[in-house]
Structure 1
Amino acid sequence: MSANHLIHEKSLYLLQHAQNPVDWYPWGEEAFAKARAEDKPIFLSIGYSTCHWCHVMERESFSDDEVAVLLNERYVSVKVDREERPDIDAVYMQVCQAMTGSGGWPLTILMTADQKPFYAGTYLPKVPKFGKPGLVDLLTGVGDLWKERRDELLAAAEEVAAFSAQDRSRLSTRPEKGLLRSAVQLFRQGFDPGNGGFSPAPKFPMPHNLLFLLRYSELERDAFARKMAETTLVQMARGGIFDQLGGGFSRYSTDAVWLVPHFEKMLYDNALLSFAYLEAFSVTGNVYFRTVAERTLSYVLRELHDGSGGFYAGQDADSEGVEGRFYVFSRAEVLNVLGEEDGAVFCDWFGISGMSVPNLLQQTDFASPDPRIAGLCERMYAYRKARAELLTDDKMLTAWNALMLAACAKAFRVLGDERYLAAAQGCRRFVAEHLTDDRGRLLVRFRDGEAKGMGQLADYAFYSWALLELYAADFDPSCLAEACRMADLMRDLFYDEVRGGFFLYASDAERLIGRPKEVYDGAMPSGNSMAAQVLVRLARLTAEPERMRQAEEQLAFVAGNAGTYPAGYSLGLLAMAEMLYPTGEVVCCSAEDVVPPEFLDLLERSHAAAVVKSPKTAAELSRAAPFTAAYPVPDTGSVLYFCRDGRCAEPVGSVAELAELMRKW
């Protein structure tokens, strides 16, 4: 079997299809020129390397000679890795949702050579089943229509393209606390009190929702908001969605109790969930949350870290051609590995009877295991690694690495472990060295020595946020300066000066049939929500009027879009909370370059924004935050300044005095 046009790509997902009999092309002018020259429509398939149903469709259809003949004779076939080209994925997923009412991957699009779609769907079996049309029937029927009634397809394509070109973002409005209260009420209505989460099956972790509820519970002393977050965090960690042996979370649960997951593990989920569990530990003091955070971070650092600073995208759901096979055990298998006595202890603790996903849902004392359990888990983990191997997608994505960088920075602040600070700083160096071009602009991904793709909104927004999280850990002013530079680039490249908000891809990027603005927070926070976080934080840290104006504009844009369903904009609401509930700003002027742990702990608990000025950092800090030039550095000790809501207190000389001052103010 000869390879197709994907053979020279670096994307693992595209390479998984490089030996298909389908004559696949990567997205690009070569494919579109061929379609025009041969007068054929485009068959566009979008997916990612760890997607179970993408694997199924590849085995059933794209490796099948009958399907290949149809595609090769009547279509030009194009493959896209959604993680490398989130812009293409976003545009055509929006089309799919508009045409069918739902979406997902693999995403299947039929379109003209000028990229205008007339059919959209997701997974299609080769022949009709599960209530889904068969791919062969679809390809045959549309192929006939293309020859006999093409005008109908072209008319539909024009209509869809016109829809995609519309800007459906709403007009800006004033942020207000009522939006936050409305979001909490919506979460109350959907909350599952027994199992946690806010929907029936399937259930997605959505850590940004939990971060919002935890913060709201502090701001408004809302015990039930805290209970919703805590219950969900506990139940997820007890379920099979959390890998009880190796740590880390799968992408979502297929049931209502978090027992049986969709087994792929993604970097972005584990980064954001680590962040959420760390925040929960900081807020509640519950050591179980600390344990889950540490085990999740350990999983990522052990299995998704490339050794030079970057983090891989994720691990597959399938092994040996079966989804979840890697993670499940039978009781007999466990007894064979551990012996009768130890095996029985393990199975009883983790609820293993038939073929089972280890879980703690039946354990009431789940946070206090038998002392033997840790050792038994190590033995079963080693056995599992030897029994089967998971495919790891070793591409490194800027946006997802930024989320992990932020999680590691927070882990250092909350837990005080230098390993996490080193990981965060190493990731920053990796992005600077491998995911930044010679103009200082971000790229989308790095794999096998190649960096590719013009950075998109999420890359800039997430990385700016990560730099600010790292600045709050090491107070290196170059982090703050780089966050300012990235935010300025974000504004220059993506901002809509007419209607407000940020577009998904840059003004000088390849133009698609639409240029969407994503505001809704889905499985990952939207770029617009994260941009609001960044702009608000920079306004607080730099005290620059222009940055405050930009922050206010972006908050107004998020507020305007969040009005119809505020629970879908939780990260944007978190940014609003920083403005609506001022926590204060701190300037620490110190003769020493070392920041004491108690200072980090106070900032973490109070959510105050802080800059630290020392003889070593003074010059660079004053360039990023010019107002700090007026603050003198003492010859010995520290002087701490605190301001809140436009008024400043007398300076104090110790963290204990600052804590007391913040409590009173």
Structure 2
Amino acid sequence: MEKKPNRLAQESSPYLLQHAYNPVDWFPWGPEALQKAKAEQKPILVSIGYAACHWCHVMEHQSFEKEDIAQIMNQHFVCIKVDREERPDVDQVYMDALHAMGVQGGWPLNVFLNSDAKPFYGGTYFPPQNWVQLLQSIADAYTKSRAELDSSADQFVQHLQQSELAKYGLQQANATFTPEGFEQMFASLSRRFDLKRGGTGGAPKFPMPSIWRFLLRYYHHSQNPAALEQVNLTLEEMAFGGIYDQVGGGFARYSTDEEWLVPHFEKMLYDNGQLLSLYAEAYQVTRNELYQQIAMETIAFVERELTSPEGGFYSSLDADSEGVEGKFYVFTQAELTELLGEEAALAASYYNTTEAGNWEHGVNILHRHQTDEAFAADQGMTLEEVQAHAQHWKDTLLQARAQRIRPGLDDKILTSWNALMLTGLVDAYRAFGEPKILELACSNARFLISHLKQGNQLFHNYKEGKATIDGFLEDYALLIQALLGMYQITFDETWLKEARKLTEYTLTHFFDPEEDLFYFTSTAGEQLIARKKEIFDNVVPASNSVMAMNLHFLGLFLGKERYSSLSDKMLSKVRDLVVQEPSHLANWASLYSLKLKPTAEIALVGPEAHSFRNLLQQHFMPNALLVGTKEENSSTLPLLEDRTAPNGQTTIYVCYNHACQLPVTSVAEALDQVSHI
């Protein structure tokens, strides 16, 4: 029987399009569905997921593709499908509702609402039999016990509308940022370290880049070797594990086991952008060549598989291909032998593959147990020989993999996730100085400004020439952060001006002066049943923590005390929680590290300003900013006012707290001055 399209066939989201031929009468989120529910007094089912979500696919195949189940859904409910990546605001509200119900969150997220869009029940994945029973019991309860369900929904909405600060008892600001509080954060985090395999806790293991980036800052400040040891252990274990694509580069979303071996195979842009920043910064600190290799291979993966012809970055690659999770990435030993010939035995030792397979169904996930140096010593080979072999194996296997049926590509372009990758490229360019990285970064930055910005307003999404959803705070915060980085690696003041305009827009449309924090949604956007503020740093840093850090740096770049002061106020609001629970507020913790000592303002003036900058930024200087110009008096930036290059000699000015060191003319002297701040 020929399948008929439903309303989702008109949408651009790949996730919604996956459901466009379900027999379920799906609506996209919007006024049409909400009005229908009110007019017919029907309960609403909101089903939320994303294109690379394995269990979302499973539930679709088991339930949403089945005529008999769809009939029950269509008869009793107004059914709405939401792509959580397109509508993080909707996802955030109903995920919070699920938590208020005492249910562990995850996707697919299935929430039942009354006709006023207020939630009264929810869950995640349901097997088909359980799903049918649930649908029937909720339909029955909605008919017979409507008043009770409405009362329950009103209570959940009251909970959702409660301020995050009130919920966690943070009404009083604490503006003291002390070394003791900083040490307490490390002590709290260290109790959760996995000292054997890196990361925190047991399975499943998520990379959580914000935690390790904070630890690099803590180490920079404290020189406590235990912090760097845990960062190195974690980064090496991840780089050697199956969570990292040993053939094609790039990281999967998380590891299902505690040894980083078996990934959930989807690859997300937001993970790879942040991990690129992490490995680049770790390279600056350690000069470990493994970190440079991982960073460069990750960039190659993004350029090869996630870059649009226009310069934007696509969102993700699915975990599944041909309906099987990980099929694209794994090899049997027989396949490896056929492809690598007489080198297969050596490759098997390097990648720890076996005839029986190291995963299910006799297949192997390629992973490593030791450094190239250690492997070379074990095999009686030189390091150069091992690296030449490994590169040959990667090239051969990548070519073989290219013949396979590829995982699904989520080709929507999101401003926030692009900005995370753009920041990753900025950090990688700082660390490695490769011109190709700068080209890729500039191309993406130009794309975002020209296609996802209209006036001073951002859009969240872009596909096939259209941007349709108003930007959220995460879009503004993460793009401002990336633009501050773009200025510092180019000294092109256009990027700084764009960052300032976007900041002013957020202060007008997102800011809550009563709490000194920003809402996730704009006053100009759709008003949901609750207007949320994002405080906790998760896999992606909270938009408020990113804005607070942006304001810290912008206040210095532009000489705007109100920005600097607001940054202090924002951190002071959550300070007690940051000190107690740094694992959930790791980006806030990084901001805290900036407040312990003055930020170094490094101004470069003269013909070699750019080459001096490139030398300076190879060093890890988390509490410093760079400004520069080749020509005197060619900038309007306060930090470059009255800065000269005597006798045409490039001069470096290191200042902090409105006080400057003596001008110097070499990078070494400037670094020495920074180290003594």
Q: Distance in 2 between matches of 1:656 and 1:430?
A: 37
Conserved 8 A contact 1:203-1:255: yes
Please give the residue correspondences for 1:622-641 in structure 2 after superposition, counting only pairs within 5 Å: 622=636, 625-626=637-638, 628-632=640-644, 634=646, 636-641=648-653
Distance 2:401 2:517 in 1: 47
Give yes or no for contact 2:416–2:460 (8 Å, CA) kept in 1.
yes
Going from structure 1 to structure 2, the CA distance change for 1:606 and 1:384 (only over 3 Å counts) comes to: closer
Q: How far apart, CA to CA, are the structure 1 residues paired with 2:526 and 2:223? A: 48
Map of 2:466 onto structure 1: 450
Question: Distance in 1 between the 2:229 and 2:599 partners?
Answer: 23
Aligned to 1:471: 487
Retained in 2: the 8 A contact 1:175–1:555?
no
The aligned counterpart of 2:673 is 661
Give the counterpart letter for 2:52 in structure 1.
Answer: T
Q: 2:663 aligns with which of 651, 655, 659?
A: 651
TM-score (norm 1): 0.95
Query: What residue ranges of structure 2 are gaps of 5+ in the alignment?
Result: 358-362, 377-382
What is the CA deviation profile of residues 347-382 of structure 1, one whole-angstrom value per residue up to 9, with x for unaligned ones?
A: 222111211210003678369545322112211111
Q: In structure 2, the residue corresponding to 1:337 is in which secondary structure? A: helix
Query: Partner of 2:510 in structure 1?
Result: 494
* Within-5 A mapping of 1:398-477: 398-437=415-454, 439-477=455-493
Answer yes or no: is the 8 Å Cα contact 2:164–2:535 preserved in 1. no
| Alpha-carbon separation, structure 2, partners of 1:501 and 1:598 | 35
Q: 2:313 is paired with a residue of what secondary structure?
A: coil
Q: Secondary structure at the match of 1:182?
A: helix
Deviation of 1:631 after TM superposition, in Å, equals 3.0
Q: 1: CA distance between counterparts of 2:251 and 2:122?
A: 31
Question: Which of 195, 202, 205 does residue 203 from structure 1 map onto?
Answer: 205
Give CA deviations for 1:107-140 in whole Å, capped at 9, x if unaligned.
000001221000111111112xxxxxx1100000
Matched pairs, number: 653
Q: Which moved more, 1:95-104 or 1:394-403?
A: 95-104
- In the other structure, the counterpart of 2:571 is 555
| In structure 1, distance between residues paired with 2:347 and 2:432 | 30
Q: Superposed, which structure 2 residues align to 1:515-554 within 5 Å?
A: 515-554=531-570
Match of 1:344 in 2: 345
Cross-structure match for 1:131: none
Residue type of the alignment partner of 1:344: A
Structure-2 residue corresponding to 1:146 = 142
What's the CA shift string for 1:388-433, capped at 9, x where partnerless? 2111111110001001111111211111111111111111111111
Match of 1:275 in 2: 277
What's the CA shift for 1:331?
A: 0.9
Q: Name the SS for the 1:119 alignment partner.
A: strand
**Equivalent in 347, 356, 380 of residue 364 of structure 2:** 356
**Residue 654 (structure 2) pairs with residue 642 (structure 1):** yes
Question: Which AA in structure 1 matches 2:105?
Answer: G
Counterpart of 1:611 in structure 2 is 627
- How far the C-alpha of 1:544 sits from its partner, in A, is 2.1
* Structure 1 CA distance for aligned equivalents of residues 519 and 613 of structure 2: 40
Instruction: Verify: 1:13 aligned to 2:15, yes or no.
Output: yes
C-alpha displacement at 1:640, in angstroms? 1.9
Give me the whole-angstrom Cα distance separating, in 2, the residues matched to 1:200 and 1:606: 30
TM superposition shift of 1:475? 1.0
Deviations 1:421-456 (A, max 9, x none): 11111111111111112x321100101121121111
Instruction: Tell me which amino acid in the other structure corresponds to 2:201.
Output: S
> 1 CA distance for matches of 2:639 and 2:317?
46
What is the Cα deviation at residue 647 of structure 1?
2.9
- Tell me which residue corresponds to 2:379: none
Which moved further from structure 2: 385-394 or 330-339?
Answer: 330-339
Q: Evaluate the alpha carbon distance shift between residue 560 and residue 497 of structure 1 in structure 2; reply closer, same or farther with a 3 A threshold.
A: farther
Q: Which residue of 2 aligns with 1:566?
A: 582
Q: Which residue of 2 aligns with 1:253?
A: 255
Q: Which amino acid aligns with 1:247?
A: G
Quick check: 1:27–1:78 contact (8 Å CA) kept in 2? yes
Equivalent residue of 1:371, what SS? helix
Q: Residue 328 of structure 1: CA displacement?
A: 1.5
| Change over 3 Å in CA distance of 1:362–1:551 after alignment to 2 | closer
Match of 1:325 in 2: 327
Whole-Å Cα distance in 1 between the matches of residues 9 and 618 of structure 2?
Answer: 53
Query: Residue 608 of structure 1: CA displacement?
Result: 2.0
Take 1:658 and 1:346, find their aligned partners in 2: how far apart are those partners? 47
Work out whether 1:600 is the aligned partner of 2:600: no
**Normalized against structure 2, the TM-score is what?**
0.93
Equivalent residue, structure 2, for 1:123: 125
1:238 aligned residue (232, 237, 240): 240
Q: Does the 8 Å contact 1:180/1:566 carry over to 2?
A: no
TM-aligned CA deviation for residue 662 of structure 1? 3.0
Q: Indicate the SS of the match to 2:604.
A: strand
1:531 CA drift (Å): 0.9
Report the 3-state secondary structure (helix = DSSP H, G, I; strand = E; otherwise coil) of the residue aligned with 2:388.
coil
Q: How many angstroms apart in 2 are the aligned matches of 1:45 and 1:545? A: 45
Contact 2:487 2:496 in 1 (8 A): yes
Structure 1 residue 560: Cα displacement: 4.4
3-state SS, counterpart of residue 109 of structure 1: strand
Which SS does the other structure have where 1:387 is aligned? coil
Residues 243 and 250 in structure 1, CA contact (< 8 A), matched pair in contact too: yes
Aligned equivalent of 1:393: 410
Name the CA distance, whole Å, in 1 between partners of 2:530 and 2:375. Answer: 49
Write the letter of the residue equivalent to 1:295: E
Q: Evaluate the alpha carbon distance shift between residue 261 and residue 644 of structure 1 in structure 2; reply closer, same or farther with a 3 A threshold.
A: same
Which structure 1 segments of 5+ residues have no match? 128-133
Q: Which moved more, 1:204-213 or 1:383-392?
A: 383-392
Q: Is the 8 A contact 1:253 1:260 kept in 2?
A: yes
Q: Secondary structure at the match of 1:454?
A: coil
Moved more, 172-181 or 496-505: 172-181
The separation in 1 between residues aligned to 2:250 and 2:473, in whole angstroms, is 27
1:613 Cα shift? Answer: 3.0
CA distance in structure 2 between the partners assigned to 1:582 and 1:233 by the alignment: 29
Check conservation: 1:175, 1:576, Cα contact below 8 A.
Answer: no
Report how far residue 148 of structure 1 moved: 1.2
Change (3 A) 1:602 1:39: closer
Alpha-carbon deviations, 1:619-650, whole Å to 9, x = none?
5x41xx34533334556122221113453222
**Which digits, 9 at most, give the CA deviation of each residue in 1:21-69, with x for residues without a partner?**
0000000110011112222100100110011011111111110111100
Query: Deviation of residue 589 (structure 1)?
Result: 2.0
1 CA distance for matches of 2:375 and 2:195?
18
Where does residue 130 of structure 1 map in the other structure? none
Residues 606, 139 of structure 1: CA spacing in aligned structure 2 closer, same or farther, 3 A cutoff? Answer: closer
1:161 is aligned with what amino acid?
V
- Check the 8 A contact 1:398/1:435 in 2, yes or no: yes
Match of 2:65 among 63, 66, 76: 63
- Cα distance in 2 for residues equivalent to 1:606 and 1:377: 34
Maintained 8 Å contact 1:598/1:655: no
Given that residues 428 and 437 in structure 2 are in contact (C-alpha distance below 8 angstroms), is that contact kept between their aligned partners in structure 1?
Answer: yes
